[in-house]
Chain A
Amino acid sequence: MSTDTPNVFALPDVGEGLTEAEIVSWHVAVGDEVGVNDPLVDIETAKSIVELPSPFAGRVEALLVEEGQTVRVGTPIVQIGGGAPAEASEAPTTEKREVLVGYGPSVSRRRTRNRPRNGSPAPSVRVLAKPPVRKLAKDLGIDLAKVPARGDAVTRAEVEEFARMLSGAGTTAAPVTGVRRATAEAMIASVAVPQATEWVTVDVSASVELVERLRADRRFDGVKVTTTLLTARAVCLALGRTPDLHARWNDSTIEHPASVGLGIAAATERGLVVPVVREAERLSLADLGHAIDDLVATARAARIQPDQMSGGTFTLTNVGVFGVDGGTPILPPGQSGILALGRVARRPWVVDEEVVPRWVTTLAVTFDHRVADGEQASRFLADVATILEHPAMALAF
């Protein structure tokens, strides 16, 4: 350790009125000898990346802020020992203050350089602030004396920050990670795709009956037979009839996938996960059911692998499980369509000029309007509806 007074370099305001900066990279390490104006560190401000030259000559004793940290202007960032006496004695903001080596002190002390203290302090405790800042505080109903100021005078930013703090009391924030971030990014990517939604309300009483019958069939033992499963099969059949809708926009070409990668939107504890059943159109109803059950169980157990979520060409989502009648699904990027199945509920329905209770649901399809038009989407949606209304029609596909 040098016995000379150490020089501490406090983060300067390198712009006009900047309040903080990130320490991007140190050019020096503890033990290095530096000269005045040798490059010390790169910092990133709101405006730019700036290289700070050393104000002192001597040995680097401590780097007080780690790379990647953002600190306020005035925070000591480096300690350099054994400077020239003249500089050491006049170094700014080197008032004896506790500095934990390896850590940046949390808040800088008020600067005292510009505070001539002639005579006794003013009798009335008047907070210093520029007139527009005073007006702002008055307009916002804020007592300037209560605003924590970092400098001699309260600034506009500090008043605004204080106002936000008051109004936002109780608000919490959580970092965006994992599934939430992936979903958000997929949805943002989807915004670039021109997409349209159509829907149809359909009597699915026959499908509900079929579900009951299949549940009793031992070939479907262990398979969760639901209207969702029937809808999945209906989607595969309908896509085979409307290949124009089963397509991927590729800027100069439109690709038609060889088989259906059927995405199944599953709500899990971690958020929305969409595993994909490969070659779904080749599977029998029972095998499709097994595949969906396995993937959803894996997803719910948070053991799904990325490749089990890739290769989707069309997605099925069941919003009905949440008790809602329908929605406008948003295209997963890279897929040509997504079908939403609403709640299957008892509704009044007109049959042979009589209003009778039936099992009714609403189907909605959103499609990529670059690869197909309302014509193809309508045909597809009508096909799915027809199969669910009259399951025997599947024989005709």
Chain B
Amino acid sequence: MGLPISQTLAPDGELVAAHHFTADELRAFHRDLVLARRIDTEAFALQRHGELGLWPPMLGQEAAQIGSGRALAANDFVFPSYREHGVAWCRGVDPTLLLAIFRGTSLGGWDPAEHGFALPAIIIGAQTLHAVGYGIGLTLEGKEDAVVTYFGDGATSQGDTNEAFAWAASYNAPVVFFCQNNQYAISVPLERQTRIPIAQRAAGFGFEGIRVDGNDVLAVHQVTSEALAKARSGGGPTLIEAITYRMGAHTTSDDPSRYRDPREADEWAERDPLLRLRALLERTDPGFAEFDAQVQAEAEQLGQRLREACKALPDPDLAALFEHVYADLPPELVAQREEVRSWS
């Protein structure tokens, strides 16, 4: 009755299923995981330095994001929430632009069309509807691309997300709903969101639900690739539930020790997504030690670059607020802009 949980790489680094990845692809996953974690931990530290107003850490969710992000094709489009720093990395968005959002100096900063990566949605679950609309648009235009939307376990209780499921099913939209089930909606545990596995909900809407070990980058890549291929070929939506764990706080303003048993975090630390791929590579890749040293050096450089870039981010001009909504600014907004200019 219950849905099986796909797994390729067990927490101890043992392969429990066959895979098709080359040695170079495995190395590339390792590099992505390490650099994505570095972006995240560096940004967290920058918040503690007083350089960012806020940061939502993704510590522990790297495999879910890198595995799915690297399964995307160039023409696919992502509608993320605010924690998809690893997916942004896969889509070529400069992490400095993420810092600018959380420093409060930018309301966006990249061209979503250029990267196939929308601006972060802070409203929980809103992006699922955007994705379905985009997906229906792809169908109407006859394009064979797919759209992915990322959300958490908490978002599955939102009306928006359930409406998105209903619309996607009824229009057979080419949407992959990628749920990172990190066990907590801020402080609310999963058992307050659902009594059945999240993926099982898809059946009620009339499409396929899949469960995958979200800390297994290989399995995540595998199931996401299949769901994307199905979407591009007219097979309709898929709900992927990537079972993972938010090893850190909800945001830098949160203190998870108030609502989580520390032993739980210890258990999940043993399932760390970076450790299992490292274990596999150390065992099977003769040149891994040298490669890993390069990756660690690259991570150090990335960290330093982010620190410097963060502090060098320019303060915005207040009048810039008026720039990106209207092509032709209505007269009353022109007046407001001029008032703002004279004020600052």
Report A's interface with B, CB cutoff 8 A. 9-16, 36-37, 47-53, 55, 86-87, 90, 92, 113-114, 116, 118, 122, 126
Contact = CB atoms under 8 A, between A and B. Distances in A.
B332 interface: no
Interface in B303-344: 303-304, 307-308, 311-312, 315, 317-318, 341-344
Given A14-B48, A52-B48, A53-B45, A114 B315 contact: yes
Nearest to A122: B343
Contacts of B308: 86-87, 90
B192 interface: no
B253 A15 contact: yes
Contacts of B54: 16
A48 B253 CA distance: 9
A13 B315 CA distance: 19
B45 A48 contact: no
A52 B45 CA distance: 8
A116 B317 contact: yes
Contacts of B53: 13, 16
Interface in B47-70: 47-51, 53-54
B263 interface: no
A113 B315 contact: yes
A122 B50 CA distance: 30
B258 interface: yes
B48 A90 contact: no
Given A14-B253, A53-B48, A116-B315, 16 more contacts: A10-B50, A13-B50, A13-B53, A36-B304, A36-B307, A37-B42, A37-B303, A48-B254, A48-B258, A87-B307, A87-B308, A87-B311, A90-B308, A92-B50, A92-B311, A126-B343
25 contacts: A9-B49, A9-B50, A10-B50, A11-B50, A12-B47, A16-B54, A36-B307, A37-B303, A47-B253, A48-B255, A50-B255, A52-B48, A52-B49, A55-B49, A55-B50, A55-B51, A90-B311, A90-B312, A92-B50, A92-B51, A116-B318, A116-B344, A118-B317, A118-B341, A122-B342
A122 B255 CA distance: 42
B225 interface: no
Nearest to B52: A12
Contacts of B312: 90
The CB with the most chain B CB atoms within 10 A, among A9, A55, A114, is that of: A55
A252 B257 CA distance: 35
A89 B229 CA distance: 51
B252 interface: yes
Contact of A118 (B49, B51, B255, B344): B344
A318 B275 CA distance: 74
Interface string B187-198: 000000000000
Interface residues of B, number: 28
A118 B315 CA distance: 12
B37 to A, nearest CB: 14
Interface string B216-250: 00000000000000000000000000000000000
Contacts of A10: 50
Given A47-B253, A92-B311, A116-B317, A37 B45 contact: yes
Contacts of A12: 47-51
B59 to A, nearest CB: 14
Nearest to B304: A36
B141 to A, nearest CB: 41
Interface of B: 42, 45, 47-51, 53-54, 252-255, 257-258, 303-304, 307-308, 311-312, 315, 317-318, 341-344
A296 B53 CA distance: 61
A126 B255 CA distance: 39
Contact of B252 (A15, A55, A116): A15
A16 B122 CA distance: 15
B336 to A, nearest CB: 14
Contact of A47 (B50, B255, B311, B317): B255
Nearest to A54: B49
A53 B317 contact: no
Contacts of A113: 315
A49 B258 CA distance: 11
A155 B296 CA distance: 44
A14 B252 contact: yes
A92 B49 CA distance: 10
Closest 10 pairs (CB-CB, A-B): A12-B50, A48-B255, A55-B49, A15-B253, A53-B45, A90-B311, A37-B45, A16-B253, A52-B48, A53-B48
B48 A51 contact: yes
B332 to A, nearest CB: 17
Q: Which residue, A9, A53, A126, has most C-beta atoms of chain B within 10 A? A: A53
Given A47-B253, A87-B308, A14 B51 contact: no
Contacts of A118: 317, 341, 344
Contacts of B255: 47-50
A116 B317 CA distance: 7
A119 to B, nearest CB: 8
A10 B50 CA distance: 8
A26 to B, nearest CB: 15
B238 to A, nearest CB: 36
A37 B50 CA distance: 12
B302 to A, nearest CB: 13
A48 B252 CA distance: 10
Contacts of B341: 118
Contacts of B257: 48
Contacts of B42: 37
Contacts of B303: 37
A16 B255 CA distance: 13
A205 B312 CA distance: 91
B49 A53 contact: yes
A36 B46 CA distance: 10
A49 B48 CA distance: 12
A86 to B, nearest CB: 6
Contacts of B344: 116, 118
Nearest to A48: B255
A384 B253 CA distance: 63
A374 B48 CA distance: 62
B49 to A, nearest CB: 4
Most buried by B among A14, A47, A52: A14
Nearest to A118: B344
A55 B252 CA distance: 16
